[in-house]
Chain A
Amino acid sequence: MKIRFTAQEEAFRDGCAAWLREQMEGPFADIRGIMSQTFRAERRLEWERVLGQSRWSVIGWPEKYGGRDATLAEQVIFAEEYARSGAPGRVGHLGTELAGPTILHFGNDLQRERFLLPIAKGEEFWCQGYSEPNAGSDLSNVRTRARLEHGPNGAEWVIDGQKIWTSLAQFADWCFVVCRTEEGTKGPAGISYLLVPMKQKGVTVKPIRQITGDAEFNEVFFDGARTKAEFCVGKPGEGWKVAMGTLAFERGVSTLAQQMTFRNELERIVAAAKENGSARDPLIRQRLAEAWVGLRIMRYSALRMLSRATTGSLGSEALTYKLHWASWRKKLGELAMDVAGAPGELCIGEHYELADLPYLYLFSRADTIYGGTNQIQRNIVAERALGLPKEARGDR
């Protein structure tokens, strides 16, 4: 058991920290520390391209796909330094963290050759076509359907249906779509995992304004949208396995970057508490300390999870991770608002512009919902980690 990085790894840290600092203090100073997911989107797409060109976008990927074959420790270090530098949330994360790893792991050579480099270089952006109006927590209830057609362009999938809560679809070039390709099937059977171009006639994106006033997520309508037959990841009808595999990548190295973001947030709250004097309130002090305890423990848990992943598969403790951080951050949001006090309620600009802490307060309400609600996470922990019986279903 060893928790330190080697001297060589620390040298790697210094290298990437210096590069990131240079970027965030120089050409990209204007997007440093942005919390909103959509603010200054064009500049952030540029930032994605610079990351790609400098091969800092997906360092864990193989070199031939635009990565650096970085070790796990190096990925951890880069993720930490990225957040420490104040670099903004990755607009490309659905490609770099979900679509890319899925294609790398479950795709074939043709798909890898076609898709990975453009993701790595920040040339193509992705969104995730999972949830539907009637398939939220019950994700396998998808109704979006696709059929194979043989036309003048060869064999193509033709897709009809609707997705919802699709983050960053407005910037996406591609969507990985979970849809039903076998008539008459129900649940996980008969689902396929298709890679569908967004910029086409049959795809309509309608933004949904959310609690923060932003419109980070969208409705996406597929109306005779098309994609090539070979852009199906895994075998047709066996896409559920792939879809679940994608979700497992959400528990990867990016969790550590996310934690550095959380750390930045907690530091802002601490600074605010010191400034407005609430740091002297014994109850606020207890809660700030408790938040810090949770943050540190999440880091240790993530390191433990990742260490185990290098030796084989993720342990069952990994299943508790989403529930842990989501609950923690919702509490952090409440603490942020309590520290901000009544002034936190006031907008700081037109168009519903909120200060950082109130923004965090509102945004953190999403954490216990997206990527599997806390209630679904508890089912997953209880059923998969503890072996308790499955929920009874009303429909099959």
Chain B
Amino acid sequence: MQFSFTDDQNMIRDSAREFMTERCGSQQLRHDMERAEGHDPELWHTIAGELGWTGLSLPESVGGSGLGMVELAIVLEEQGRVLYGGPLLASCGLATSLLLECPAAAARDAVLAKLASGDSVAALAVTDDRGVSGLQAISATLSEDASGLRIDGVASFVLNGHVADQFVLAVRDRRGGHDGYAVVVVDSAKPGLSIEKKPAMDLTRPYARLVLEDLREFTLLVADSGECIERGLQIAQIALAAEQLGSMQAVFDLTTSYASQRIQFGRVIGSFQAIKHRLADMMVICEAARSAVYYAACVVDEYRLDREAHRHELAEAAALVKVHCSAGFHDVAGNAIQLHGGIGFTWEYDAQLYFKRARATYNLLGVPAVHRERIAHLLGLDDSTEAA
């Protein structure tokens, strides 16, 4: 048991922080918000190629570096610090998590290889128009008619879907009177798929809505895959929480630094208990998030070595990080606005960007209440003896 970073992990963090700080400052971010892509393609090229972050936690057999979820969490945290809007989370954190839960096969590995090299960007499509994610919310349907397999339906809130060239799509499998789930990969250019960019309250990272109408060309990765979709989403939640950790820490640091400099009544405002106590509470949230995220990342690495043994623990870890990091980030970002006062409410200042990102990620892959209810189920509360 050694629950701290190794030297190598520290090195990854230091270089990731240095790179993101230098290349993705606030000005760059605001500039990227105005672009059609929502991010700088050249920077993405460096991240995927030179830095190799896209292949960081992928197996060497598909051209990855063979590192684990902890290392991926480290870079996701660092890109979260600067609210990076490129598809690192979407492709390497979300879509990849589901792909890795699909059975190893040539078709899957070919997709992973293209993601590892950065030649391709994938987005995860598992959410409906209400923003609900997971098996119950899958509205795209796989069926079969005289001319073969087809997919029809909708997938919403597809993060970075406007720049993806592949979609990892969960579908309801209704072939031959069957009712199950399947995972398919769809090329963005195929007929029958229309992609609509959806600018959101969080301008730093747009969504897309996919409409699938008589889509015929796709790769079926796995059928009867309810279990694999659920596990994939759980790992995706952990990736998302790692990013939330970075964002909440950054907006907390920003606020601490402001409170250390802003002078009122002849003293820096950070010397007033009304301010410093709130900062202390924010630090408790951030540190708890850090413990939770890296523990959960370790659980993923163990789960991938022995899926049967760690299934339950993965489900628990995934729910708890999503609960804590979503609620925590929102809380910290909200307090950041409050402690900054008027300037925190302006467009020019970055607090608003963090607040909006907090809300976007709060909703993504399920709001905390949904995951608390999952935990309640895991705690056995459904076996209550008496009806209330």
Q: A316-341: which have CB < 8 Å to B?
A: 317, 320, 323-324, 327
User: How long is the Cα–Cα vector from A290 to B375 in the complex, in angstroms?
Assistant: 9
Given contacts A1-B298, A280-B387, A377-B280, contact A389 B270 (CB under 8 A): yes
- Interface range on chain A: under 10, 10 to 19, 20 to 34, or 35 or more? 35 or more
CB atoms of A281 and B1 under 8 A apart: no
A303: interface (CB < 8 Å): yes
- Residue on B with the closest CB to A281? B388
Given contacts A1-B298, A381-B284, contact A275 B277 (CB under 8 A): no
User: How long is the Cα–Cα vector from A281 to B277 in the complex, in angstroms?
Assistant: 34
For A307, what are the chain B residues with a Cβ–Cβ distance below 8 Å? Answer: 1-4
CB atoms of A1 and B324 under 8 A apart: no
Q: Pick the residue among B291, B374, B384 that contacts A280 (CB under 8 A).
A: B384
CB atoms of B288 and A389 under 8 A apart: no
Q: A145-203: which have CB < 8 Å to B?
A: none
Q: Pick the residue among A297, A310, A379 that contacts B291 (CB under 8 A).
A: A297
* B355 CB, min distance to chain A CBs, angstroms: 21
User: How long is the Cα–Cα vector from A73 to B385 in the complex, in angstroms?
Assistant: 39
B302: interface (CB < 8 Å): yes
A301: interface (CB < 8 Å): yes
A285: interface (CB < 8 Å): yes
* A362 CB, min distance to chain B CBs, angstroms: 24
Chain-B contact segment, one of A2-10, A45-53, A131-139, A209-217: A2-10
For A296, what are the chain B residues with a Cβ–Cβ distance below 8 Å? Answer: 292, 316, 320
* A313 CB, min distance to chain B CBs, angstroms: 13
CB atoms of B4 and A389 under 8 A apart: no
CB atoms of A388 and B279 under 8 A apart: yes
A314: interface (CB < 8 Å): no
Q: A348-370: which have CB < 8 Å to B?
A: none
User: How long is the Cα–Cα vector from A288 to B374 in the complex, in angstroms?
Assistant: 11
- Residue on A with the closest CB to B269? A388
User: How long is the Cα–Cα vector from A324 to B324 in the complex, in angstroms?
Assistant: 13
* B308 CB, min distance to chain A CBs, angstroms: 16
User: How long is the Cα–Cα vector from A279 to B267 in the complex, in angstroms?
Assistant: 50
- Mask, B367-380, CB within 8 Å of A = 1, is 00101111110011
CB atoms of A385 and B381 under 8 A apart: no
* A315 CB, min distance to chain B CBs, angstroms: 9
CB atoms of B288 and A324 under 8 A apart: yes
For A388, what are the chain B residues with a Cβ–Cβ distance below 8 Å? Answer: 256, 259-260, 268, 270-271, 276, 279
User: How long is the Cα–Cα vector from A293 to B375 in the complex, in angstroms?
Assistant: 9
CB atoms of B324 and A297 under 8 A apart: yes
* B296 CB, min distance to chain A CBs, angstroms: 9
- Residue on B with the closest CB to A381? B280
CB atoms of B372 and A285 under 8 A apart: yes
- Residue on B with the closest CB to A317? B287
CB atoms of A288 and B376 under 8 A apart: yes
B145: interface (CB < 8 Å): no
Q: Pick the residue among A289, A385, A392 that contacts B323 (CB under 8 A).
A: A289
Given pairs A1-B9, A3-B295, A279-B382, 13 additional interface contacts (CB within 8 A):
A1-B2, A1-B6, A1-B70, A1-B297, A3-B1, A273-B384, A285-B376, A293-B320, A293-B323, A296-B320, A327-B284, A381-B283, A388-B276
Binding site for A on B (CB under 8 A): 1-6, 9, 70, 256, 259-260, 267-268, 270-271, 273, 276-277, 279-281, 283-284, 287-288, 290-292, 294-295, 297-299, 302, 316, 320, 323-324, 369, 371-376, 379-388
Binding site for B on A (CB under 8 A): 1-5, 9, 73, 76, 270, 273-282, 285-286, 288-290, 292-294, 296-298, 300-301, 303-304, 306-308, 310-311, 317, 320, 323-324, 327, 375, 377-379, 381-383, 385-392
**Could you list 13 examples of A-B contacts with CB < 8 Å?**
A2-B1, A3-B1, A279-B381, A286-B369, A289-B375, A292-B375, A303-B3, A303-B295, A304-B294, A308-B4, A323-B280, A379-B273, A388-B276
